[in-house]
Every structure is written in C-alpha cells, then in structure tokens.
Structure 1
C-alpha cells in the first residue's frame, strides 16, 4: 500500500500497471485489481478500451477522476512514452467519493427541503390570501341585503303597527341581528387567526356592562320561556381598566354557546373574584346550563383553518382566542350526565382611584325638523344599499337626495351642482372609495370641496379607517347599519345650525 498525500483524511491504495505497445499487461503490483501478465488490458474491463485511444494519440499524461469499476471509484493517470508503451496508475478513492456523495446528498436534501418548505409557505400565503379575499367578498355580498333588513326592520318598529305585526318585525330584526353576529364572528375569527390584535385598555364601569348583558339576555331568553340568572360576588370591582368590547364579547359568546346546547329551562352566569394583587383582579366567569356540548369543542381552537371549524364552534373559538389574548384560561366541565359549566379566568387591571367614565351616547337618532333640507349625493352602484340609504334619509323628511352609480355622471354632478353631504359606498364601477374621493376632490367645485364625505363600507379595521381618514373621509359607517347608526353619524358631521 502506498500512501497518497493528496488528501490527509484518507489512506489511498495505489496500483501501477505497465502496458506494452500492443496494449498487453507487462507487469502489475496487484494492489487493487488482479491482472494476468500478457493479457490485453481491454479484456479486464470495458473502461480500459477507452484508454488505448490515448496511446494511439501519443498523449503524454492524462488524468481521469472518479471512474467507477468493480463497485469502486478510482482516480486514474495514464503516462505514455514515445515507443507507445505506458503506465496506468489506479488510486482507490472510494471512501473519499462516498463521503463527497453523502455530503452532496445531504446538501441536495437540504436544498430540496428548503424549496419544499418555501413552496408550502407560498401555498399557505396564497391560501390565506384567497381565504381573506373570499371572506371580504362574502362580507360584501351578505352585508348589502343585511343592511336593508336591519335598517328597514328598525324603521318599521318606529311606525304604527298592531301587536302581531310588531312581533313579526321584532322576529325579523332579531334574526338579522343573529346573522350580523354570525358574520362578525367569522370576520373576527379570521382577524384573530391572522395575528395578535391590539387590546384597547380604557376605564369602564364593569357593573354597568354586566347589567346591560343581563338585561339583553333576560329578554332574549324569555322569548323561549327560559330563565336567565346572574350572580355577581360583592368583591368584584365596580370599575375596570381593560378592553370593554372584548370582555363583553367573551361573556356574550359564552352565553350564546350555552343557549346553543341548552336542553333545560335555565342558564346561569356567575361572576366572582379569585384574587386581587398588583393592581389587577383575577375574575372568574362560570356559565351553567343543562345539556352537554360536543366532546371536542374545547379543543376546536387548535384548528388553524377557519373552514374546518363547525358553525356551532365559532363562538367558543372566538372566546378561546380572546382569552388567550388576555393571558387567561378557559375550560369546559361536565357536572353530571346532563349538565355543563363553561369556566373562564382572566386578569384585568382596576383603577386605584376614582375614575370618570364618559357618558354613553344614545343609540337612537334624535328627531329634527329642518327648515332647509340637506342636499345629499349618494354614490352607490348596489341597488339594495342605494334603496336602504335613500329610504332611511327620506323617512326623516330632512333630506333631498340624489343617487349616482356611474363615476362619470357623479363627477359631472359635483362639478356643476352644490351639495351639503356625500355618502360613498365601498366602490363604484370597480373604483375604490379612497381613489374615488381623490377624484371628487379634484373635480368638485369650491363649495363641494369642503362638505363632509362619509364612507359606507364593510372595511372597518383600524388600518382601513386610518386609510379613509387620511384620504379625506369625515367618518365611516359600517355595513350593515341601522337607520339610527346612519342618521347619528350624519348629524354628527353636519353643521346642524344651518338647517334648523
């Protein structure tokens, strides 16, 4: 064995083979391959047949790397002489090339893995983008008719109806609220799954909140001849500092979930305080109801794809996401064969001193009798939402309205005529509301450049509202809206003294 110094990590066996001018083996040290002297080199292995051509061309020195013969890998040198004899040198580099192959294979596997991972990531992003787009389109299509139902049922309840008519309209109004909540739940859950939303911590009256929840569900549950009870421990803080909307959402969704699976005649909410320290109160919410929930309901929050969540699991999935957001805990406990408790613990800050809680604005629109009518331009291509906004405004007797669904006609109108208010839907003829308001500001006459413009839209995230504000919208009304929500927003933005 002759050590090869070309690579210090491997000991390489070397074999020398002397060849005469006829291609016969003159002599060999037999270190690697057994050769019989006097035989033709080409008879040992087909590869050697290619080497004979080098002798014919009088090549002086040839090197060939990684030649596979007899399940081994060789580096081969061929040295020829002027008399057409020569020497073939074999170096067994099998271990070296096996190691190189393994390294290359691992590198290729790593590259393939990274490419597969990137492909999966791209597919996930595309899936999420498609899902977000689908939800947006779904919201847009459903909110338009739901806006009409919500606004018109609210208008009808303010009119002169007999008892049977009132109950029918109340039922329609209640079901539209359910649809509205279901749609909001789907959109809310999609947003929660996308990332960690912001928690808005402000002081609020916790006792007023739970009294409002009690009043709302007492009347709602009584329709089905059931009873809603609420028990609040005396040590629960009167005021809290937290996200009031999220806390209300947690409690309401728990009760809604109990309503869904309730088989008895009573649902009970218990609120107590676990402990209080470091300016925070650990609150415990327990909702009792008769009947059992699906065994896998508690773990449905682990499902990442919204499309795999059953409709009846939406409320609980949202509660789970919100509780996790507040670093709380949630569990479902079976009391006996036909009784269930939903238990939540969350930590919320409470004020150490007296706080002033802003007075809650009334939701009912104030009645006005304008001496001059408000000239309103409505830009909307959807006939349903056109009719809804038009009917709400006309019902007050205070507005003189005109509707445009063609951008060209709209721009001609703001250039030639004067208005007091413009309502713009999300988009018209595929022109986005943000782009449209920019064009209006450019083409409008001096009078119309300064009037309030309000967006009627399904896009009401914090980022969307900031975009609308930056573009020049004075306010945003979320679809579906009630008549009071639309009118209150308009009255807030108008200079009322001008019309009274």
Structure 2
C-alpha cells in the first residue's frame, strides 16, 4: 500500500488518488482548456448581459486576426462595422431568449484583419454563475467551400451554356447543310426519272449514293447531339421484329455478294416476331453493325444470328450477333471502339471511310433500350458484335405499315401552296410535283398568308426559316384564320424544312403543322406526307366538328 508521505502537501491522500482517476481528470481545468484550444473551429463565449467576450480559443483568434488578450472584455462593436455589430447583437438576443440551438448556414463576417469571410455558425445560451447567462458560439470558416461551390455553379452554368450553344450550332449547321443537299438530291432524283444513257445513269447513281452517304453522316451527328442533350425518346409501338431484321439485313446482302462474301441471316427457334418498341432506332443499330461487318470484310463471310428470350410477362430480351471474317481488332482498339470519332483504322492511309460516330450512337441507343453492345475480336480472325435490347411483347398482330404510292397524273391536280425562300428548293418541289399539282410559291410567311387568303389550296408546304415572317408564325396565323372563319375546314400543313432537331420538330407541330418532313426529301416521301397530312387534317377537322356540336 502506498504511503501517505507521497501525497502532495496540504492534500488528503484519498482526494489525490481520486483526482488521478482518468474520468476525474476530465474535469480538470487544464484538460478542458486543451479541449477548447484543440477544437478546429472558432469557439467564443460571450457575456449574455453586455455581449463582452469571456473566452476565445486559438482558432477564433486566428480567424478574427486579433490577439485574444485584445478581445477579452470587449464586445462586437469594438471590432466590427456598426451594421454587422448590430446584426450580431440582435441575433444574440434571439438566441438568449429562445434557449435553443440556432444554426446559421451562411453568415457573412467582416474581420478586422482577415477580410470578408463566410461562417457556418451555431449559437446556444448556457448558464453562468448565479442567474448569469452566457452565449456559446461555434463557427466554422466555410469561405473556401463557398468559393468552390460558386466556382462549381459557374462551371455548370458555363457547361450548360456551351451545350445549348452546341445544340444551336448543330441545328443551324443542319439547316444550312440540308438546304443545298436537298437541291442536290432532289434534282438528281428528278433527273433520274428522265431518259438517260447507261453512262449518264451510272453517274447519276454516284451522285445519289454520295448524297445519301452525306445525309446519313449528317443524321449521325444530329443523333449524337440529341442523345447528349437528352432529347432522344424511344417509341413504343408494335412492330414485326423478324421483318425489321430481315429488311436491315437485305439492305447489305447485295453489297456483300458484290464483294464475293457469303451472307446469312438465321433466327433461333421460338423467335418472337411481334414485339413493342422503337423499330426505327433498333433498325439503326442493326444496320450499323451489319454495315461495318460488310465494310471491313474483304473475303469470307458475314453471319447474322437473332434470338429472343422471354424475361417475364412484360419483357422480351433480343440478342443479335453479327460475325464477320474480317481483319479483326487489337485489344487496344477494342477498348476505345465505342468512343466518339474512333475507328478501327485511324491512320491517314486507312482504306475505309466513316465518321467514327456509328458505334457510339448505336451503343447509346442500345443503353436506352436497357441493352448493350459488346465486341469479341482477334486480330486477323474477324470480329463478333453482340447487341442486346429489352422489348415488350405485342398484344396483337403488328399492323403492316401502309405505304402510299405516288399518285399518277390525273385531271384532278393538287393545289399546293409552297412557302420557301430558297430558289433551288422551290424548283426541286416544283419538279417533284410535276404534272400532279398547280404550285403557288411564296418567298416568305407574309406572302404565304396573302396567297392563302386569296386562293383555295389542297395542302401547304411550309419552310420554317424565312425572312419577313417565319414559317411557325405563318402556320399559327393560318390556323387562327381557320378558327375565325368557322366551318371552312382544316387545310393540311406540312412543315417542309431543314430544321430536324427534336425541339424544332415539336415547335412545328405545336404551331399547327400536321406533319414534319425534314430535307433532303424524296419524291415518294413528299407524296406520302401529303396523303398522310390530308388524313390527319381530316381527322382533326372531324374532331373539331364533334367538339363544337357537343
């Protein structure tokens, strides 16, 4: 047992032993001082009566830039601007009266020596000696955090502005490219229907094929912009899956045979023909995979295999494998194959053209369908691309799309109003309509309204971007006149424009157009659209009559 002579003079040995216990040591003044000094935030205690500083820790001294000896016994008015000192005093009174914790997420502070800062502050009233109240304040300096948040917000705004600018640029470039392209392809199609020699026919085929490739490239760029801006939406309509895949394969089967390749398309047993989904985008994916397989295969075979699997009563998983005996890829190329603007052969002497966008867009579409695209390849031994997607089962037989044939010339000529400011496009439409229509051309929306008021028409073809009055304004004005006239019927309006971005299509339909047809146009597409717009306008007119009579 320890002797009493070891206890400090003037202290009871039992008390000394009790004070040495760890839990008792927590109450020592030195320990509490160490805790206060170690808090990594400003800790201040004020007198509740006059607001004078009673305690300031080291972090508070550093934040305020004033020695604590100069702070103790003084109040906010001695250090801060009058308006800020008054704000602190008012807040302190509220805290003392409430007896609850007050949290100020962002509190501005004008320090005497450290400039303007931002604090996150917690305040609470605590008891002092007797009836005295003290105010405990703990403040964290969030100046850098707030600056980072502001910088991040500015960066996000700049990124959004850049994205909007890119979208607008692509939309404008689409319009500017599609306008002359419409002239090239339109005139070529009209010329192809005339008497041509074999040599002339060959040259015309080159023009048409080159134009279609250019149009496909433009569509790829626009598809990429749509996906990146979140403007792509999947359709959910019933369609014949077997028929769609067969059509996609047939597009490239002839080219494969021209290259001396063996081409095959096989469907697994139990294949589901009727599904619901986006047939167009699914076709784009399969077209891209088969096109690449044929393009990059010089000899051997291209094999396409399709299978379906029932996941549950609401989902069918489609798997399409496209295998070729081409040159294949290295692991390094495979790792970047689905990135934008990347091709299997990026050298300046590469033998195959293309933008390097197709696989990237195909993969993005596949992801939208809850699917994926993967590739397995060995250099010199070909490649196998595997595409998966989830589709819904179709409850009924998918209707076969009705393709309207171009009407033959007859005594009943169409009366067509064309609002178009570009002379080449005016001539293209005139030649495409040929003897089937009497065409009135207006160079802007205002002239189109004048023509509409003076003559009856069977259909209006309306460009969007025109001087004096744009096409959307003109469409709205035509619809307003129809409503004001009462009982005059609804004229079919087709937005015939180079504006092809989703928001531009939506704007045209919201303005009152029945259909949107993007340039460059084909003869067949023009007449199909005229017939379809007439049907839609008739249906809308009947619905309006029923609504008026109800």
Same fold judged by TM-score > 0.5?
Answer: yes
Q: Do 1:419 and 1:448's aligned partners in 2 also have CA atoms closer than 8 Å?
A: no
CA 494–345 in structure 1, closer or farther in 2 if over 3 Å, else same:
closer
2:193 aligned partner: 158
1:455 aligned partner: 495
- Equivalenced residue count is 411
How far apart in 2 are the matches of 1:443 and 1:347?
A: 47
The question of 1:220 aligning with 2:258 is answered: no
The question of 1:168 aligning with 2:168 is answered: no
TM-superposed deviation, 1:361: 2.0
How far apart in 2 are the matches of 1:373 and 1:434?
A: 27
How far apart in 2 are the matches of 1:66 and 1:286?
A: 69
How far apart in 2 are the matches of 1:291 and 1:441?
A: 58
1:327 aligned partner: 370
TM-superposed deviation, 1:165: 2.8
Structure 1 segment 410-449 matched on structure 2, within 5 A? 410-429=448-467, 431-441=469-479
CA 257–448 in structure 1, closer or farther in 2 if over 3 Å, else same:
farther
2:267 aligned partner: 232
The question of 1:292 aligning with 2:328 is answered: yes
The runs of 5 or more residues in structure 1 that have no matched partner are 13-64, 79-96, 496-500
The question of 1:360 aligning with 2:401 is answered: yes
2:442 aligned partner: 404
1:321-370: CA deviation from partner (whole Å, max 9, x where unpaired): 0111122232111145342111222233334x6x322122226x333333
How far apart in 2 are the matches of 1:246 and 1:317?
A: 13
2:227 aligned partner: 192
SS of match in other structure, 1:332: strand
Q: Do 1:378 and 1:403's aligned partners in 2 also have CA atoms closer than 8 Å?
A: yes
1:414-449: CA deviation from partner (whole Å, max 9, x where unpaired): 334443332110121164321122334567996998
1:370 aligned partner: 410
1:278 aligned partner: 312
TM-superposed deviation, 1:455: 1.2
How far apart in 2 are the matches of 1:399 and 1:483?
A: 13
1:191-223: CA deviation from partner (whole Å, max 9, x where unpaired): 112227332222222221122122211123344
TM-superposed deviation, 1:303: 6.2
How far apart in 1 are the matches of 2:262 and 2:191?
A: 29
How far apart in 2 are the matches of 1:325 and 1:187?
A: 17
1:127-176: CA deviation from partner (whole Å, max 9, x where unpaired): 10111011101110111122223333333333333333333322322222
How far apart in 2 are the matches of 1:139 and 1:119?
A: 30
How far apart in 1 are the matches of 2:69 and 2:429?
A: 83
The structure 2 residue matched to 1:490, chosen from 514, 530, 550, is: 530
TM norm structure 2: 0.65
How far apart in 2 are the matches of 1:277 and 1:372?
A: 54
Structure 1 segment 260-275 matched on structure 2, within 5 A? 260-273=295-308, 275=309
TM-superposed deviation, 1:483: 0.9
The question of 1:348 aligning with 2:391 is answered: yes
How far apart in 1 are the matches of 2:466 and 2:69?
A: 72
TM-superposed deviation, 1:320: 0.9
How far apart in 2 are the matches of 1:117 and 1:430?
A: 42
How far apart in 2 are the matches of 1:281 and 1:408?
A: 52
1:387 aligned partner: 427
The runs of 5 or more residues in structure 2 that have no matched partner are 1-28, 44-62, 75-112, 121-138, 347-352, 536-550
How far apart in 2 are the matches of 1:276 and 1:227?
A: 31
How far apart in 2 are the matches of 1:430 and 1:263?
A: 55
Q: Do 1:298 and 1:331's aligned partners in 2 also have CA atoms closer than 8 Å?
A: no
The question of 1:146 aligning with 2:187 is answered: no
How far apart in 2 are the matches of 1:403 and 1:150?
A: 20
Q: Do 1:154 and 1:173's aligned partners in 2 also have CA atoms closer than 8 Å?
A: yes
1:45 aligned partner: none
Q: Do 1:414 and 1:443's aligned partners in 2 also have CA atoms closer than 8 Å?
A: no
CA 239–443 in structure 1, closer or farther in 2 if over 3 Å, else same:
closer
TM-superposed deviation, 1:232: 2.4
CA 108–221 in structure 1, closer or farther in 2 if over 3 Å, else same:
same
Q: Do 1:66 and 1:74's aligned partners in 2 also have CA atoms closer than 8 Å?
A: no
CA 418–200 in structure 1, closer or farther in 2 if over 3 Å, else same:
closer
How far apart in 2 are the matches of 1:422 and 1:332?
A: 48
How far apart in 1 are the matches of 2:187 and 2:211?
A: 11
TM-superposed deviation, 1:119: 1.1
TM-superposed deviation, 1:470: 3.5
CA 271–414 in structure 1, closer or farther in 2 if over 3 Å, else same:
closer
SS of match in other structure, 1:371: coil
**What is the alpha-carbon root mean square deviation over aligned residues?**
3.8
How far apart in 2 are the matches of 1:66 and 1:211?
A: 77
How far apart in 2 are the matches of 1:479 and 1:221?
A: 30
How far apart in 2 are the matches of 1:110 and 1:430?
A: 51
1:474 aligned partner: 514
